[in-house]
Amino acid sequence: MQAEALSALEPAQLREILPTFLAGFVQPDDVAAHNQKRMTELLAGWPDRTLKQVQHHVASLGAEHRLYTADPTCRIIRAITALRFASIHSIRS
């Protein structure tokens, strides 16, 4: 998702799109479905102002060369998701 597209979304759209978008990076499918449900529940309880703050934080990442500190609200998102990344193996020549 491009920063411009993310910035254009209204809070109701963020509540609808983010859980599915983030679940798309999770495997296996049952864990993705569980995370999508948890994200939907979490975002439903957040006021619009909180969603706009997260939106601004994420959309501005990389806009300038500096140290970016972790956003406390984004840490909540990370805490409830079980992201699993593929391991990287070295290739020997």
Average pLDDT over residues 64-77: 85
Rounded to an integer, what distance in angstroms lies between the CA atom of residue 19 and that of residue 77? Answer: 10
Per-residue model confidence (pLDDT) at position 89: 39
What is the tens place of the pLDDT at every residue in 7-61?
A: 899 999 999 998 998 888 887 888 889 889 999 999 999 999 999 998 988 888 8
Q: Looking at the predicted structure, is the pLDDT value of residue 82 above 70? A: no
CA distances from residue 56 to 36, 40, 73 in whole angstroms, order as listed: 22, 19, 12
